[in-house]
Amino acid sequence: MDGPLAGNPSNGAPLAGSPPRLAGSPPRPQPARRPGAGPRHAARNAPQTTGSVDATSNPAAMARRSRAQSRVRWELLRNLIRKDIKVKYKGSTLGFAWSLANPLLLLVVYTFVFQVVFKSGVPRFGIYFLSGLLVWNAFAGSVSTACGSVVGNANLVKKVRFPLAVLPLSAVGFAAVHFVLQLLVLLVLTMALGYPLIGGGLLLLVPASAVALIFTVGMSMLVSALSVRFKDVPHLIEVALMAWIWLNPMVYAFGLIQQRLHEYTWIYELNPMAVVVMAFQRAIYVDANATKPDGTPLQVLADPGYVYYLERLAMAGGISLAVLALGVWVFRKLQADFAEDL
């Protein structure tokens, strides 16, 4: 303890004290209460009465309290999603209605463009397109928001200890909330327009949504972590998403792919989002086959049955789980350095 002081030449001298101490050196009455004797000190040694501190004497309780700050909690995630929604719609008169009106407007525009102007031959093109687009938008929205989720919260990441994974997860949650509501709007719209909605097919939405969720979470965690370290990633993702949208049978019918790729169609189906989009179309859209204006038959959907989709979804699910594992692993590995890299 004295080691560091030894180097000070004036240390051993009689005047070692610094000025204030000398000024106070003539004897003066000591206040009655000295630290160490007063109630303050006594309180420190007395048995703790505060409930919270009592709880902490228990190591298990301590560990639990410590974990609450490092584990992703559903409640925290919900709060963050709610915050994002609140912030996004704050001050806009229509608020959330904007997001719900979105599919409606898209439906009108795309029906006009691809049915009236281009005559793609896909009947009720708007519904066909939207049934795939909504899930794709949810995916693309999550991933591109997730890119900036950690970087954009640099201040928080650098100053507060909290489970960092909630950042990309809240990006997914935010998109998911919109997706679910927009999907409902689409279903209502389909019925309102008098199109048949077969009951059984809708069940396909469940596994398809699950695969989409797993894949989206995996990708979001992956890109959010990589974006912190590698500043190119957000740009890369932006471009990749633009290209990727064409790898899904949304604007064109899946039949076109089968006609071109034949036995290599499985390569196309390695893309989990393509499978998800196909399954969504199968669930919401009913016309498996159509006839083009020039009389040639057009296979709009891949298969009229459901087994085909379940098989593909199983494979896409496997790929998605692998992506999720990779995403979680990369995020875990990199997150300890986020505060430093930002």
Partner 1 sequence: MSQTSPLPPAAGSAPAAGPTPTVGRPAGATASVSAGLLPTGGASARGGAVAAGSGPAVIRAAGVSKKFVSYHKRATSLKEAFVRRGGLAGEDFWALRDINIEIPRGQTVGLAGANGSGKSTTLKVLAGILRPTSGKVEVHGRIASLLELGAGFNGELSGRDNVYLNASLLGLSKREIDRLFDSIVDFAELHHKIDDEVKHYSSGQYVRLGFAVAVHVDPDILLVDEVLAVGDEAFQRKCLAKIDEFRNQGRTILFVTHSLDLIENMCDRVVVLEAGKVIHDGAPGVGTKLLRQRLGSSPTEGAGAYGTATVRPETLSFSALPGTAPQIAYNPGDSMTMSVGIEVAEGAPAAIRARCVVVGQNEIPIWVMDTPAEGIPVSPGFTVLDYTIGSLPALLGAFAVRVEVADAATGSPITSRRFHELFGIDGSHAEGLVHVDYEARPRA
Residues 141-170 touching partner 1, rule: CB under 8 A, are 153, 155-162
> How many CA atoms, within 13 angstroms, populate the side-chain half-sphere of residue 33?
5
Using CB under 8 A, pick the residue from 72, 79, 105, 108 that binds partner 1: 79
Stretch that binds partner 1, among 180-188, 198-206, 274-282, 331-339 (CB under 8 A): 331-339
Using CB under 8 A, pick the residue from 236, 288, 322, 328 that binds partner 1: 236
d(CA 111, CA 128): 10
Which residue's CB is nearer to partner 1, number 53 or number 116? 53
Q: Does 63 bind partner 1 (CB under 8 A)?
A: yes
Least separation in angstroms between residue 323's CB and partner 1 is 19
Which residue's CB is nearer to partner 1, number 32 or number 117? 32
Q: Restricting to residues 18-57, which ones interact with partner 1 according to CB under 8 A?
A: 18-28, 30-31, 33-36, 38, 40-41, 43-45, 48, 50, 52-53, 56-57
Task: Provide the phi-psi class of 314: left if phi over 0, else alpha when psi is between -120 and 50, else beta.
Answer: alpha
CB within 8 Å of 106: residues ≥ 6 apart = 126, 129, 130, 133
Least separation in angstroms between residue 163's CB and partner 1 is 9
Least separation in angstroms between residue 84's CB and partner 1 is 9
Contact (Cβ atoms closer than 8 angstroms) between residue 215 and residue 244: no
Q: Does 10 bind partner 1 (CB under 8 A)?
A: yes
CA 6-12-25 angle, to 5 degrees, is 125
Q: Does 11 bind partner 1 (CB under 8 A)?
A: yes
Q: Does 1 bind partner 1 (CB under 8 A)?
A: yes
Q: Does 262 bind partner 1 (CB under 8 A)?
A: no
d(CA 233, CA 143): 11
Which residue's CB is nearer to partner 1, number 223 or number 279? 223
Which residue in the block uniquely carries the two structure tokens 């303890």? Answer: 1
Q: Does 92 bind partner 1 (CB under 8 A)?
A: no
Task: Provide the phi-psi class of 91: left if phi over 0, else alpha when psi is between -120 and 50, else beta.
Answer: left
Tokens at 179, concatenated:
């997706």
Buried b (16+ CB within 10 A) or exposed e, 132-149: bbbbbbbbbbbbbbbbbb
